[in-house]
Structure 1
Amino acid sequence: MTAARQAPVRVGVFGLLGSGNLGNDGSLEAVLGHLRAAHPDAVVDALCGGPEVVTARYGIPATRLHWYRGEYRTASRAGAIAGKGLGKLVDVFRTAAWVRRHDVVIVPGMGVLEATLPLRPWGFPYALFLLCASGRLSGVRVGLVGVGAAPIVNRPTRALVRWSARLATYRSYRDAQSRDAMRAMGVDTARDGVCPDLAFALPTPAGPTASAPAGPPRGTVCVGVMDFHGGNDDRARAGEIHRRYLDGTTRFVRALVEDGRPVRLLTGDAVDASVVSAIREAVDSPLVTAARADSLADLMKEMAAADAVVATRYHNLVCALKVGVPTLALSYAAKSDALMAERGLGAYCHPAREVDADRLLAQFRGLEQHAAELRRTLAEHNRVAAGRLEDQFTALTTALFPAADHTHVLREAP
């Protein structure tokens, strides 16, 4: 006599998760929320940058992304160089073995198909290629879900990113320009969708932004900072870019304080703490405080209590727009400009590479003059985004979770 039952689908999540970047972790949180709602019996684990953090925070087993622990440290000694080289070979087999244990692997959001920040081809681009190639060879579906992409000049990085995208089973992008960038790199995107950033699927904290304030706001301004040194193509002048960014942002914060405005400094990655310290030391005012944020939810709570936000990191912008606060972007990449334009704030972008404190202050004052109108605009955009994300998750389920393919029949002994 035999009996059959359906085994749970095995889902892997992959990326630089738990490594200190709140935006990456927010994308993971959004996907886990969807899996727990739509596939409550799924068995989920991660291959990621910070496995201990992911397990502690999200309650799923996790494995370290790279065999060599010093993967993202500069290797100058012979032993470190040899360790990195050996790690590349070991990771071929580690990644393939991990992928084969799953029915589906999801890369949740993140800018995995771009190089807008300094990036070496044999770091994460190589790891992503191993993932997608392993999925194709073993028949495991790999989905790049709501990811960011941008044109890439470096040839090895561009080749690895292009082949990763081609080998994936499913692709969707967080904006139209990401899809256009992949099409320009030779990827057939005819069936690829565009949806809002996955972080817009996170719960919105309750706060004073539910209704517009009467008259010009005079409360706290949240300023999201970044340890910014330019992008992948700016390495030769990274120091100069950083000095200009820090000087301009500091002068802007000082001008707000001189106007009597409380300023709350926010970060989006652990590496940004040095910028917070530098600004607080330079301005030296009790009106300048800093918040510790361990998640996008923490950032949103801070921003929901503010009258306006000025931010650099992409997911700081996402959080501010999500809670409906008038927002000005210190833009370091085209993705920030696209996000702001889509939300009706295209006029409120300022280049992070050339921060002009006087012009930034003028833009900020214009932002506050239109605060009530912008809050209404953002509320409508957020309503539309929620519907589009529901469609995204429905499409994801259809593409990656066809029931007939993840049914495993277990037979009892006679």
Structure 2
Amino acid sequence: MTSPREKPSRRQRPLRVGLFGLLGSGNVGNDGSLEAVLGHLRAEYSGAVVDAMCGGPEEVRARFGIPTTRLNWYSGEYRTASRAGAILAKAAGKVVDAVRTAAWVRRHDVVIVPGTGVLEATLPLRPWGFPYSLFLLCAAGRLTGTRVALVGVGAATIGRRATRTLTCWSARLAAYRSFRDDLSRDAMRTMGVDTSRDEVYEDLAFSLPAPAAGGAPVPRDTVCVGVMAFYGGNDDRARGDEIHRRYLDGTTRFVRALAEEGRRVRLLTGDDIDRPVVEAILDAVDSPLVTAAETDSLADLMRETAAAGTVVATRYHNLVCALKAGTPTLALSYSAKSDTLMARMGLAAFRHSAREVDPDRLLEQFRELEKRSAQLRPVLAERNAAAARRLERQFTALIPVLSPGAGRTDAVTTRQETS
């Protein structure tokens, strides 16, 4: 019996877990990582009180059924500010967000950043956007005593000093780190972060259920082509439009060549911002054989890629879904993380630069992929089994982070306050 003066122990209340990131913002890869971690919490820590601080609070609340808090106080945070009022609002938002983030963090025992490339800048990124938000989270965790765990995250060497500084300090201040590949851990070590105790497991999306086997035979003439609003990386801002034009032209010519051969093509996206690329290709090719898939989740992407004979894709999580589905895949690679993934899954030979799409060379590689399809499917099955084993070890490694003294109960509960 606890006396009135005794403070309730950690054992006497549910584990309080926060999830943090650009979640619910239109990127299905980010949401897939959230889904993987939330599924683990619900299965193994069903009494945990779970909520999220995220970029798309309405979407996360509606889809996953957990309370949410908006990541940024200023709603125009990710729009370019040109007028004085917008600039002042953004500046004020940085101060307000420091207070809001600290107040949110201190309500939790642990905050998890679920996967995604939170420690990289392989796409255009401003330091005072998400890198600043992540730094606030990790600093608040240290100040309030809340454990911040970066789980299965991606990282890359960052050239721009401000972004690099914020990213490295975020990593140092986190209580726990694990990475989705060796490349990510090596990048953080290169930037001066001690990673000697950090482990490498796998991208969290590999823990999601694979599409159910059975049903109609795979239509071998269907090709899924995953496209992207690709403008180069963080250091390519000055020539981003040129890079995009080359990517779109090369990809369009590849799709047209497939259609002219009588092949069915399904265009896939991985983020809301990719939809104009799909529309541009549909307009340019103008063939009933080329259609666009509606993919609002990684499960949708896996179903589409599982039903195809082959996949050619750009976005990292389009590749993950195709490989998880066991479908022979060719990467239109825009960063080393895609190259690393393809090599780990036994498909190192099937990569093509997204910056320099050569339709003729891409067609040659594609035909070679199709020729070797029967050989590659067993390889992918074996590599997927290995990925699943690595993720079992990842979730085991989280036990001391998630439950120091916290019990597991019978029913899922969620925090009721929202903002």
CA deviation profile, 1:107-162 (whole Å, cap 9, x unmatched) = 00010000000000000000000000000111100000000000000000000000
CA drift at 1:202: 0.3
- Alignment TM-score, normalising by the size of structure 2: 0.94
- Residue in structure 2 matched with residue 289 of structure 1 by the alignment: 291
Pick from 171, 177, 187 the counterpart of residue 177 of structure 2.
171
User: Are the aligned partners of 1:23 and 1:110 in contact in 2 as well (CA < 8 Å)?
Assistant: yes
1:92 has 2:102 as partner = no
Q: Distance in 2 between matches of 1:376 and 1:265?
A: 26
Q: Distance in 1 between matches of 2:27 and 2:336?
A: 20
CA deviation profile, 1:308-352 (whole Å, cap 9, x unmatched) = 000000000000000000000000000000000000000000000
CA drift at 1:403: 1.6
Matched pairs, number: 403
CA deviation profile, 1:291-322 (whole Å, cap 9, x unmatched) = 11110000101111000000000000000000
Q: Distance in 1 between matches of 2:362 and 2:406?
A: 56
CA drift at 1:402: 1.4
- Residue in structure 1 matched with residue 359 of structure 2 by the alignment: 357
Q: Distance in 1 between matches of 2:24 and 2:132?
A: 19
Q: Distance in 2 between matches of 1:230 and 1:147?
A: 21
Q: What SS does the corresponding residue of 2:236 show, helix, strand or coil?
A: helix
For 1:328, the aligned partner's letter is L
Q: Distance in 2 between matches of 1:193 and 1:250?
A: 40
Q: What SS does the corresponding residue of 1:403 show, helix, strand or coil?
A: coil
Q: Distance in 2 between matches of 1:370 and 1:356?
A: 21
- Residue in structure 1 matched with residue 204 of structure 2 by the alignment: 198
Counterparts of 1:121-200 in structure 2, within 5 Å, are 121-200=127-206
User: Are the aligned partners of 1:12 and 1:106 in contact in 2 as well (CA < 8 Å)?
Assistant: yes
User: Are the aligned partners of 2:53 and 2:71 in contact in 1 as well (CA < 8 Å)?
Assistant: yes
1:319 has 2:321 as partner = yes
Q: Distance in 2 between matches of 1:145 and 1:45?
A: 17
Q: Distance in 2 between matches of 1:20 and 1:405?
A: 35
Q: Distance in 1 between matches of 2:362 and 2:91?
A: 46
CA deviation profile, 1:80-120 (whole Å, cap 9, x unmatched) = 00000000000010000000000000000010000000000
- Residue in structure 2 matched with residue 392 of structure 1 by the alignment: 394
Q: Kindly, what percent of the aligned residue pairs are identical?
A: 74
User: Are the aligned partners of 1:222 and 1:263 in contact in 2 as well (CA < 8 Å)?
Assistant: yes
Pick from 33, 44, 60 the counterpart of residue 66 of structure 2.
60
Q: Distance in 2 between matches of 1:219 and 1:208?
A: 18
For 1:197, the aligned partner's letter is D
Q: What SS does the corresponding residue of 1:60 show, helix, strand or coil?
A: coil
1:105 has 2:107 as partner = no
Q: Distance in 1 between matches of 2:121 and 2:366?
A: 29
Q: What SS does the corresponding residue of 2:25 show, helix, strand or coil?
A: coil
- Residue in structure 2 matched with residue 7 of structure 1 by the alignment: 13
CA drift at 1:219: 1.7
Q: What SS does the corresponding residue of 2:255 show, helix, strand or coil?
A: helix
- Residue in structure 1 matched with residue 87 of structure 2 by the alignment: 81
1:239 has 2:245 as partner = no
For 1:104, the aligned partner's letter is V
User: Are the aligned partners of 2:112 and 2:151 in contact in 1 as well (CA < 8 Å)?
Assistant: yes
Q: Distance in 2 between matches of 1:202 and 1:136?
A: 31
CA drift at 1:404: 6.1
Q: What SS does the corresponding residue of 2:235 show, helix, strand or coil?
A: helix
Distance 1:157 1:204, change over 3 A: same
Q: Distance in 1 between matches of 2:401 and 2:21?
A: 20
User: Are the aligned partners of 1:173 and 1:195 in contact in 2 as well (CA < 8 Å)?
Assistant: yes
Q: Distance in 2 between matches of 1:274 and 1:331?
A: 20
Distance 1:164 1:406, change over 3 A: farther
User: Are the aligned partners of 2:247 and 2:356 in contact in 1 as well (CA < 8 Å)?
Assistant: yes
Q: What SS does the corresponding residue of 2:113 show, helix, strand or coil?
A: strand
User: Are the aligned partners of 2:220 and 2:308 in contact in 1 as well (CA < 8 Å)?
Assistant: no
Distance 1:136 1:210, change over 3 A: farther
For 2:15, the aligned partner's letter is V
CA drift at 1:2: 3.8
Structure 1 segments, 4+ long, off by >3 Å, are: 1-5, 207-211, 404-407
1:43 has 2:49 as partner = yes
User: Are the aligned partners of 1:204 and 1:322 in contact in 2 as well (CA < 8 Å)?
Assistant: yes
For 2:128, the aligned partner's letter is W
CA drift at 1:405: 10
- Alignment TM-score, normalising by the size of structure 1: 0.95
For 2:138, the aligned partner's letter is C
For 2:156, the aligned partner's letter is A
- Residue in structure 2 matched with residue 230 of structure 1 by the alignment: 232
Distance 1:202 1:209, change over 3 A: farther
User: Are the aligned partners of 1:218 and 1:261 in contact in 2 as well (CA < 8 Å)?
Assistant: no
Q: Distance in 2 between matches of 1:195 and 1:6?
A: 33
Distance 1:210 1:327, change over 3 A: farther
Distance 1:226 1:110, change over 3 A: same
Q: What SS does the corresponding residue of 2:43 show, helix, strand or coil?
A: helix
CA drift at 1:210: 11
- Residue in structure 1 matched with residue 271 of structure 2 by the alignment: 269
Q: What runs of 5+ residues in structure 2 fail to find an aligned partner? A: 410-419
CA drift at 1:218: 3.9
For 1:95, the aligned partner's letter is T
Q: What SS does the corresponding residue of 1:26 show, helix, strand or coil?
A: helix
CA drift at 1:185: 0.8
Distance 1:93 1:405, change over 3 A: farther
- Residue in structure 2 matched with residue 348 of structure 1 by the alignment: 350
For 2:167, the aligned partner's letter is V
Q: Distance in 1 between matches of 2:375 and 2:166?
A: 44
Q: Distance in 2 between matches of 1:110 and 1:311?
A: 18
For 2:64, the aligned partner's letter is Y
Pick from 279, 282, 287 the counterpart of residue 280 of structure 1.
282
